[in-house]
A and B are shown apart, each in its own frame.
Chain A
């Protein structure tokens, strides 16, 4: 986390009356960052604003230190973009199109051809590079889209739903490629509505919901919680009752008991309750919060607030 690659302040954009982004404040460091949110959360709009394709109605944004949309061309020469939708001409070979994509970023024809060959080999399309793109499978199309996004050696790449339409094996391979980007010295903003994809690849996460930032920070911090989860060998009811008598708030899920709130050290409370009940423990530890939990908690809060 040495430098900031994306910074926004009060960013707002609307399609007519429909507000897509509102008051988005972001600080994204180098490395792999996940941009998660449901469909319509504003992920693609944010990416288009960062590329200078759209102009914000209010607020400011900077990518790699350059302001958008004023320095859009400078940004685009150092940024790659993998669109969510189709973007490949079916009548061209992968080598021709990826090479052309490099030329579009200012590389000479000779260098562009060499880099196209190298990058297509990196994404696993070395043998197929002279085949027309129209004959490619979905997985090969996604790899070609990634190749055109990194062929000009960008400092930052914006990946919009890179695993869309892939089967589980293709998804794993694509996520493996995305993970390797950091080794290549390329920072990445990976947009996805599949939360586990982000959990497996990214170290920083930005969560969008309804055009606003729900959470933003290191994934390790978001995943850490003060809750303790205990899985018992036997009926957890006596153990849960002992915890409640000691002042803790608990939730029983099958044979597991989650200690959500307690006075003092929750582990000490659990130890004392286990001794008091003489209960056998299968598993004990801090509860890991998933991105899905955070989204579900948000929905729960909204539901409670609305009732």
Chain B
């Protein structure tokens, strides 16, 4: 024990250690994006929306599986809890989640001038946007996919085939839900990034994306019902559903593109083209900004 402490002023110490490359820098941007969207190391009110939406997506399946594990079987007549049907819940909430996350990833850096700091660091505009998109992909795919993992494990737990046999025998569920999750991400996230790349406030960006995608459904239905089948291309909210049903060999809804007589491949192409055009626009916009 000492009687008193001594404060040493170490002064400025040069950095003698290694400096990592662009991949490490991009990973730092990804981790910052994850923390920012989830409100980590931020005030409590910044955590409410993301964790509230995650809870809405995850809690129903957790309860369903928990009850099934307790009683020894999963209720087969609970239609919401099929893999294809559960996307009806998570797909709709994912739109809100993507709107909020996309806005949070891009808008504040412009709003607060932080882009100037990124511009002075060893990463390119493409690195920055790629890392932000990767952060969004990790979050959205996790948001959509984790409930299906829970459901898959729950089904295996109560299966009469035995846990290991069920897991091995139903691997299709895993890749099909993964591809369907990717379809929802590819359908909504690129448009969300476009809106976030031009909006002045996060709330404006989020509201615009939700509004545009939501209105696209009735607008497209109106055109299809009045005989303009090409209007089915505008059903932004329905294309990922079409792809999901196609991949999972399900028929959960009469989607608008289907009512217009379009094959599922058309929806896949529309999603791909919109994503490519969105990526080009965001890159063009940010190259002009920086």
Contact = CB atoms under 8 A, between A and B. Distances in A.
A79 B14 contact: no
Contact of A85 (B32, B41, B116, B124): B116
Interface string A174-196: 00000010011100000000000
A153 B14 contact: yes
Most buried by A among B24, B28, B43, B124: B28
A77 B122 contact: yes
Nearest to A155: B14
B21 A83 contact: no
A148 interface: yes
A115 B15 contact: yes
A89 B120 CA distance: 16
Give the size range of A's interface with the partner. Answer: 35 or more
Contact of A88 (B114, B119, B122): B114
23 contacts: A51-B119, A73-B122, A76-B121, A79-B120, A85-B113, A87-B113, A87-B117, A88-B112, A100-B32, A101-B121, A103-B25, A104-B122, A104-B123, A105-B19, A105-B25, A106-B19, A106-B24, A107-B17, A107-B19, A122-B12, A148-B117, A149-B120, A152-B19
Interface in A141-168: 148-149, 152-153, 158
Interface in A16-75: 51, 53, 73-74
A86 interface: yes
Most buried by B among A92, A93, A185: A92
Contacts of A247: none
Nearest to B26: A104
A150 to B, nearest CB: 8
Contacts of A89: 108-109, 112, 114
Give the top 5 A-B pairs by smallest Cβ distance, nearest first: A81-B120, A106-B19, A153-B15, A103-B28, A104-B121
B12 A183 contact: yes
Contact of B20 (A74, A79, A107, A153): A107
Interface in B139-161: none
Nearest to B19: A106
A132 B112 CA distance: 14
Interface of B: 10-15, 17, 19-22, 24-25, 28-29, 32, 41-43, 46, 108-109, 112-114, 116-124, 290
A119 to B, nearest CB: 8
Contact of A106 (B10, B11, B21, B108): B21
A83 B24 CA distance: 24
B164 to A, nearest CB: 39
Interface of A: 51, 53, 73-74, 76-77, 79-81, 83, 85-93, 96, 100-101, 103-109, 111, 115, 118-119, 122, 132, 148-149, 152-153, 158, 180, 183-185
B113 A83 contact: yes
Contacts of B121: 76-77, 101, 104-105
Contacts of A118: 10, 12-13
Given A51-B120, A73-B122, 11 more contacts: A73-B124, A87-B112, A87-B117, A88-B114, A89-B109, A89-B114, A91-B43, A92-B41, A92-B42, A104-B29, A152-B15
B132 to A, nearest CB: 13
Contacts of A85: 113, 116
Nearest to A47: B120
A104 to B, nearest CB: 4
Nearest to B16: A153
Contacts of B12: 118-119, 122, 180, 183-184
Contacts of A132: 43
A49 B19 CA distance: 24
Contact of A111 (B15, B28, B122, B290): B15
A154 to B, nearest CB: 10
B119 to A, nearest CB: 5
A22 B24 CA distance: 38
Given A51-B119, A104-B118, A153-B14, A86 B19 contact: no
Contact of A104 (B14, B17, B117, B290): B117
B116 A107 contact: no
Contacts of B117: 81, 83, 87, 101, 104, 148
